[in-house]
Structure 1
Amino acid sequence: MTALSIPSPSDGVWDLGPVPIRGYALAIILGIVAAVWIGERRWVARGGRAGEIQDLAIWAVPFGLVGGRIYHVLTDSELYFGSGGNAIEALYVWRGGLGVWGAIALGAFGVVIGARRAGIKLLPVLDAMAPGVLVAQAIGRWGNWFNQELFGKPTDLPWGLEIDSAHRPAGYADPDLLFHPTFLYESLWCLLGFALVVWADKRFRLGHGRVVALYVMVYTAGRGFIEMLRIDSVELDNVLGLRFNVWTSIVLFVLALAYFVVSARRHPGREEAIYVDGRRDDDVRSETTDEQTDTGQLPG
């Protein structure tokens, strides 16, 4: 290997006594924590109450994990239900295999449930949470590095990725081969996208779901290109000459762009009311202070 290549971890699992600590799981957990923290700060800045994004995460995270696994299993079912597969391994989430679109779709469904229960308007809270999801994806992609998976085609670039022979697909046995570190490309793209979305939201006061639409456009623009570098095989890896996930990125980009344009025309500006009953957090604090004053209590 060259001196400038990127090494892969020799082992993505560390034993802490009887408990295995997996790099993939750590990356996912750290990503979730970052997304919740960023979403919380953005939600409070929009006038929301502190702690509400954490409450919504209780719904979003389990739904997202289930959705991500279902998407992966459906698009790679041959791994588990084909010849030589083991169906029970479809439940082994800790080994990797979470489809991002399944995670986002069911994770958003979890947010819908939590928001309805809390009396929160859906589009404002999704707009607050969306940029943090890009950071979560940037961190989560490092789980693929720990697992030595989802890398790209061979390359002679100085940042080529070293991959052990046990993790290479057939036809790439040459020990001197280096591969495109697609996990790194996507991680960096997501961080760049985060900066772009946050800037655009602040500059143009995006609302009514347009932050979410911009998030989808930014992510799919990079994902479509990166997907074409990958060499991992999936069942739907050649639909009219393109991988299934490339088509998914194209379709979602077009839909998000259409929504962005239509929404901007119909609902220019940003929502002021973020709760179903029209209140903002400053209204709630004012009511609480008045009530405490009437009862002789000091606000804490």
Structure 2
Amino acid sequence: MDPVAIRLFGIDIMWYGVIISTGIIIALLLTEYTCKLRDIKYDDVLTIFLITFPLAVIGARLYYVIFEFNNYYKDNLGDIFNIRQGGLAIHGAIITTVLVVYLYAKKKGMNFLALLDVAAPSLIIAQSLGRWGNFFNQEAHGGPVSKEFISMFPEFIQKGMFIDGTYYHPTFLYESIWNLAVFLVLFYLIHKVRKRGVVALSYLGLYSLGRFFIEGLRTDSLMIGPIRTAQLISILGIVICIAGLFMIYKGRKESL
């Protein structure tokens, strides 16, 4: 599996970057549509994106490096800034994004929950596509599986998951499909539900639910002692989702 898409003027353009960039473009196009459903100016959201995106990348990388520092980066400090081979943690990006959007909304007098609602479907579809970057890097896979098991998948998946003589669970594919299903739910909700925050909380809960189980199959999990970090964050996400939806449907006034 060659992680290089093309070589341009002597520079390797990685599939990982191509796929992430494509996901961003699709997400922005979709957000232009969802903004109309919530009467939010797309120009405002585009401004927020231009501010948030580079900070989210930094947050995703910082999150990953923090948990992998003792295992790798303390002896390879120069690689901290090399993201071309992957090493971006989506939870770090999400946490950073929510924080930046909250601060921006508070400063500009915009509704924080409404902004998250219009962004949620775009974010999950970008995540669904972005997992294919992991495929080309042959990372974020699960444990070993038999030839019989992997033969249920298309041949190109079989080849991509054949690493150093062993077949592995294509967990990138499981999450990509799950995220696509979550997108369909969120796309329905943003058309049918007017209560602010429901779409964003549904994103948090549904994504976290799938990620919890898929993370249990992976071999490259970031860890806090014996605990998989992503599973811990996923449990927190599910709790926040349930508590938030309870508050919304109990009629509590929005204060965000």
Q: Please confirm whether the aligned pair reaches a TM-score higher than 0.5, indicating the same fold.
A: yes
Q: Which residue of 2 aligns with 1:260?
A: 245
Query: Per residue, is there more helix in 1 or in 2?
Result: 2
Whether the 8 Å CA contact 2:117–2:199 is kept in 1: the answer is: yes
> Residue 18 and residue 79 in structure 1: after superposition, are their counterparts in 2 closer, same or farther (change >3 A)?
farther
For residues 47 and 234 of structure 1, do their structure 2 counterparts lie closer, same or farther at Cα, with a shift above 3 Å needed? closer
> Within 5 A, what are the aligned runs for 1:69-148?
69-82=61-74, 85-116=75-106, 118-148=108-138
TM-score w.r.t. structure 1 length?
0.75
Indicate the residue corresponding to 1:250 in structure 2. Answer: 235
2:219 counterpart residue number: 231
Partner of 1:202: 191
**In structure 2, which of residues 20, 41, 45 is the aligned counterpart of residue 28 of structure 1?**
20
Alpha carbons of 1:209 and 1:27: their partners in 2 closer, same or farther (altered >3 Å)?
same
| Offset at residue 20 of structure 1 (A) | 2.0
**CA offsets per residue over residues 215-269 of structure 1, 9 Å max, x none?**
0111011101110111125443622xxx22112211211122111111221259x
How far off its partner does 1:117 sit?
5.2
Deviation at 1:16, TM superposition (A): 0.8
Q: CA RMSD in A?
A: 2.2
Indicate which of 24, 32, 43 corresponds to 1:51.
43
Separation in 1, partners of 2:28, 2:195: 20
Contact 1:12 1:147 in 2 (8 A): no
Following the alignment from structure 2 to structure 1, what is the Cα–Cα distance between the partners of residues 195 and 56? 24
What is the CA–CA distance in structure 2 between the aligned matches of 1:245 and 1:117, rounded to whole Å?
A: 31
Letter in 2 for 1:25: G
> After alignment, is 24-33 or 136-145 more displaced?
24-33
Amino acid across the alignment from 1:189: W
Structure 1 pair 233/221, CA: closer, same or farther in 2 (3 Å)?
A: closer
Give the residue type in structure 2 aligned to 1:248. I
Which runs of no fewer than 5 residues in structure 1 stay unpaired? 1-8, 166-174, 277-300
The reply to whether residue 18 of structure 1 matches residue 10 of structure 2 is yes
How far is 1:50 from its partner? 3.4
> Identity across aligned pairs (percent)?
30
> Which among 174, 179, 182 is matched to residue 185 of structure 1?
174
Report the residue type matching 2:219 in the other structure.
I
The superposition leaves residues 262-288 of structure 1 with CA deviations (integer Å, 9 ceiling, x where unpaired) of: 1221259xx9xxxx9xxxxxxxxxxxx
Residue identity opposite 1:185 in structure 2: Y
Task: Note the residue ranges of structure 2 that are not aligned, 5 or more in a row.
Answer: none
- Specify whether residues 11 and 198 from structure 1 end up closer, same or farther in structure 2 by C-alpha distance, changes over 3 A only: closer
Please report the TM-score for the alignment, with normalisation by the length of structure 2. Answer: 0.87
- Rounded to whole Å, the distance in 2 between the matches of 1:93 and 1:223 is 22
CA distance in 1, matches of 2:102, 2:240: 20
User: Which of the two has greater strand per residue?
Assistant: 2
> Do the aligned partners of 1:155 and 1:180 also contact (CA within 8 Å) in 2?
yes
Q: Give how far 1:10 is off.
A: 2.7
Worse-matched range after superposition: 57-66 or 37-46? 37-46
